[in-house]
Structure 1
Amino acid sequence: MNHTVLTGDRPTGPLHLGHYFGTLANRVRLQDIHQMFVLVADYQVIIDRDLPGRIQANIDDLLLDYLAVGIDPGKVTIFQHSAIPELNQLLLPFLSLVSVAELQRNPTVKDEIAHSSQSAVSGLMFTYPVHQAADILFCKGTLVPVGKDQLPHVEVTRLVARRFNERYGPVFPVPEAMMGDAPLLHGLDGGKMSKSRGNAITLKASEDETAALIRGARTDADRHITYDPESRPEVANLLTLAGLCLGRAPEEIAEEIGYGGAARLKGMLTEAVNEFLRPIRKRRSEVDLAEARQVLREGNARARERAVRTLEEVRQAMGF
């Protein structure tokens, strides 16, 4: 079955290995099978911060990373929120379909509010899942690749689609969530891998920067390297990352290192990561930024055409 896939990222910094193994590699695979829209979610940067930061530089970073990993603009529509007013206008009728209590119960919103840098919860943060419903439904998305933490947002989208269709007539498909099977990668400090925490290896990092980050990675005092995610999570995380880059089982790598200790593990991981990223970094350096920005302009034009058609369907169904 052919699907319309909606996926994307907030432009809050360069993408890292967690993004690659979590979503980017899957997008490259799916682009040959399904119609795909990749969203640069620039409006959603301000859901949990007062200012968007170096927004244009971060958008450029996203574009270069997308093209470097193999996302093909001939197969994929890459677009940004702020260029598609008709998409954002869908938020208004969609908000009328959900209750305040339903938004308050959303566990992902609760978690995002708890970790927000803002002193007060903004209306945009509160209605974030409904904005995501507009992202998915403007293009009649039927498949949404997500991690477990994003499942509640897809459920809001499914709820919005069903209620709109029941109230106004069949306009939207009810999308499905697609759960990834990539192992969860933690940051090099053992915490959540994040652009803002400085604990991730970015796709654009140099080989020396990568080596320095891995040298500072957290391990433990046991010299005998074993793969034990429960009792040795930091060591297991480094073994998992090495396994992903080498295409090998982490248990096998641990056995090979044996009593070589953390130094040998970090040395092997540094070599594996740099070898894995070398062709991606090379392609990234060869991408012309002006051409990447043109890719976004062309994607914005295609996405806006789709959004205009969808908004007109919505207006007609609602009787405007």
Structure 2
Amino acid sequence: MVENQIQANPERYRVLTGDRPTGPLHLGHLFGTLQNRVRLQDMGVDLFVIIADYQVLTDRDVADRLTQTVEGLVLDYLAVGIDPERATVFTHSAVPALNQLMLPFLSLVTVSELGRNPTVKDEIAHSRQDAVSGLMFTYPVHQAADVLFCKGNLVPVGRDQLPHIEITRSIARRFNERYGPVFPEPDALLSAAPVLLGTDGTKMSKSRHNAISISATADDTARLLRSARTDADRHITYDPVARPEVSSLVLLAALCLGVTPEQVASSVGTGGAAALKRTATAAVNEFLAPMRARRADYAADLSHVRKILQVGNERAKALADATLAEVRTAMGMTY
């Protein structure tokens, strides 16, 4: 089991993970991925966190307020405990050699393979654009370059992202078979992350404006949770199938309080949705208070954020340049 191997020899693993800078990170990110990144970092795994600014353009004509959003992501990372002394935080666009790997990688996949990718299909279905761009269609290959440029051998994903890892593994294997051994075939670290719904009862998402961001104020959090969709049954239970909206609030409170969802439901009892929302609000605000305080401290000096990116970009560029040199040598392109 991969998890057991990581615990036994964390120094053998390099993790590549990251986010598109399309808006502030929220509670779904916190419990879904951010806490796991901090856990891996603290275990001694070499952690790379990519801010995928180029990939914003997969489903948008322009990247709005990009500088502020990128800096906001770094602040969120610092707030939750990612340590730039032990992790490499960098931006996509600052690493030219990473993107240069796209060209040979594209020759190793077929159009039909890209077209079958379920994540691409879903992204296309929810795209803001009238037509599908080439960048959107080749999204899995871009992600493969993200992972392989630093020779990442472990990628934390949910089950819905496994097809991306399979394409990455295929690209690594085909390159090695055609040109010689250069790349590892990365393993997927499956996440058992809880699924939190947004305040409208659908998937929590930055683009759907239904999420509670890590950087939200306590008052904003209370306002957003008051508007959360529930049902008319005053007896609160934890039943994700029959009562998904109520159960999502119960789960959120439980995650913040460190108890089981059943314990939260029992404590609210027949108090109804209003009592559940008060419980969830108090739990979320208490849980996020230290993170928000740290974030505010870092936000007071954005030069520190820019220094983190500068150092991270330099390390990522050095690795990407070395990998590209290996690729060119393997392909016989060292003229």
The TM-score with structure 1 as length reference comes to: 0.99
For residues 275-300 of structure 1, give each alpha carbon's deviation from its aligned partner in whole angstroms, at most 9, with x where no partner exists.
Answer: 00000000000002110111001100
Once superposed, what is the RMSD of the aligned Cα atoms?
A: 0.7
Which amino acid in 2 is paired with 1:41?
A
1:110 aligns with 2:121: yes
Mark the runs of 5 or more structure 1 residues left unpaired by the alignment.
Answer: none
Structure 2 contact 158–192 (Cα < 8 Å) conserved: no
Residue 189 of structure 2: which of 172, 178, 183 is its match? 178
| 2:168 aligned counterpart, secondary structure | helix
Aligned residue for 2:189, secondary structure, equals: strand
Distance 1:117 1:295 in 2: 32
Report how far residue 182 of structure 1 moved: 1.6
Check whether the contact 1:43–1:81 (CA below 8 A) recurs between aligned residues. yes
Residue of structure 2 in register with 1:55 after alignment: 66
Q: Aligned letter for 2:30? A: Y
Per-residue deviation at 1:243?
0.5
| Residue matched to 2:249 | 238
Residue of structure 1 in register with 2:5 after alignment:
none
What does 1:45-84 align with in structure 2 at a 5 Å threshold?
A: 45-84=56-95
**Structure 2 Cα separation of the partners of residues 218 and 74 of structure 1:** 41
- Return 5+ residue gaps in structure 2 as ranges: 1-8
The answer on whether the counterparts of 2:13 and 2:152 sit within 8 Å (CA) in structure 1 is yes
How many Å separate the matches in 2 of 1:190 and 1:125?
27
Amino acid of the structure 2 residue aligned with 1:273: V
- List, as ranges, runs of 4+ consecutive aligned residues in structure 1 with deviation greater than 3 Å: none
C-alpha distance in structure 1 between counterparts of 2:67 and 2:216, whole Å: 19
- The residue that corresponds to 2:320 in the other structure is 307
Which of 23, 33, 56 pairs up with 1:23?
A: 33
Q: How is 1:186-225 mapped onto 2 (pairs within 5 angstroms)? A: 186-225=197-236
Alignment size in residue pairs: 320
- In the alignment, what sits opposite 1:153? 164
The alpha-carbon deviation at position 105 of structure 1 amounts to 0.8
Tell me if the contact between 1:15 and 1:202 (Cα under 8 Å) persists in the aligned partners: yes
Residue 259 of structure 1: SS of its match in structure 2? Answer: coil
Distance 2:41 2:275 in 1: 38
> AA paired with 1:11?
P
* Corresponding residue SS for 2:33: helix
Q: Which of the residues 299, 303, 306 maps onto 1:290? A: 303
Q: CA deviation at 1:158?
A: 0.2
Shift of 1:172: 0.3
SS in 2 for 1:44: helix
Report the AA paired with residue 12 of structure 1: T
TM-score, scaled to structure 2: 0.95
Aligned residue in 1 for 2:17? 7
Q: Distance in 1 between matches of 2:215 and 2:29?
A: 13
